[in-house]
């Protein structure tokens, strides 16, 4: 929790309480439904929560912004972002019902009224959003067709609507596979956070 406060020192008391509650909530749920590896649950704040909050360093979502977290798993990056941006609407989707059970239980325990978890595949969604966020779900060339369909064109931010993906490894090949017509930006996460865990990880933005 100290890591979160060191990078986000202006959290409200409610936000601090919500972030602090995540360790016990995920430890308890992980014992019933395995959504986080046993090794990673001990490093929850660094490897899952802080990693998710990279997006909050890249962009400050405005009140009323609508976000979809594609392939949210146990709720990342959606749950930490929903705590950070309480006036933003988050729809967290995953094809696995057990994972959405965890998402909605955690959101309810934290009294996050801006989170809705839905068991659905991306191609089945009819709603439109400002941004798609995702973490280690699929390659960029697979994500973009889904993103194009889910994102509307009414921009509310200086950064146009699109995809914000947290990725690791060799991202240059994925970016190249998008083709010359795609506009993308790559940010090394160690630009925001100093921990060694983030050295080979990136935030990728692709305009819809």
- DSSP label at 198? G
- Return the pLDDT at 169: 84
Measured from the Cβ of residue 77, the count of other Cβ atoms closer than 10 Å reads 28
- Return the pLDDT at 172: 93
- Return the pLDDT at 179: 87
**2-207: CATH homologous superfamily?**
Vaccinia Virus protein VP39 (3.40.50.150)
pLDDT tens, the chain, 208 aa long = 889 999 999 999 999 999 999 999 999 999 998 888 887 898 999 999 999 999 999 999 999 999 999 999 999 999 999 999 999 999 999 999 999 999 999 999 999 999 999 999 988 999 999 999 999 788 999 999 888 899 999 999 999 999 999 999 889 999 999 988 899 999 999 999 999 999 999 999 999 9
Name the pTM for this structure: 0.96
Residues in Cβ contact with 190 at an 8 Å cutoff, skipping those fewer than 6 apart: 198, 199, 201
- Buried b / exposed e along 9-42 (16+ C-beta atoms within 10 A): eeeeeeeeebbeebeebbeebbeeeebbeeeebe
Rounded CA separation 95/44 (Å)? 23
- Return the pLDDT at 182: 92
């Amino acid at each position: 929790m100290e890591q979160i406060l060191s990078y986000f020192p202006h959290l409200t008391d409610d936000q601090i309480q919500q972030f602090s509650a995540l360790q016990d909530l995920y430890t308890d749920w992980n014992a019933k439904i395995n959504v986080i590896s046993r090794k990673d649950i001990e490093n929850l704040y660094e490897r899952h929560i802080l990693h998710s909050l990279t997006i909050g360093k890249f962009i400050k979502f405005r009140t009323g912004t609508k976000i979809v977290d594609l392939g949210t798993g146990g709720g990342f990056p959606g749950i930490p972002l929903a705590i950070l941006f309480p006036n933003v609407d988050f729809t967290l989707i995953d094809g696995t019902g057990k994972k959405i059970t965890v998402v909605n239980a955690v959101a309810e325990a934290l009294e996050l009224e801006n989170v809705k978890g839905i068991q659905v595949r991306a191609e089945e969604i009819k709603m439109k959003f400002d941004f798609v966020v995702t973490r280690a779900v699929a390659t960029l060339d697979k994500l973009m067709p889904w993103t194009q369909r889910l994102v509307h064109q009414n921009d509310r931010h200086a950064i146009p609507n699109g995809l914000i993906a947290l990725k690791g490894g060799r991202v240059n090949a994925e970016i190249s596979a998008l083709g010359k017509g795609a506009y993308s930006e790559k940010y090394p996460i160690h630009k925001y956070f100093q921990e060694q865990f983030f050295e080979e990880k990136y935030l990728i933005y692709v305009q819809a």
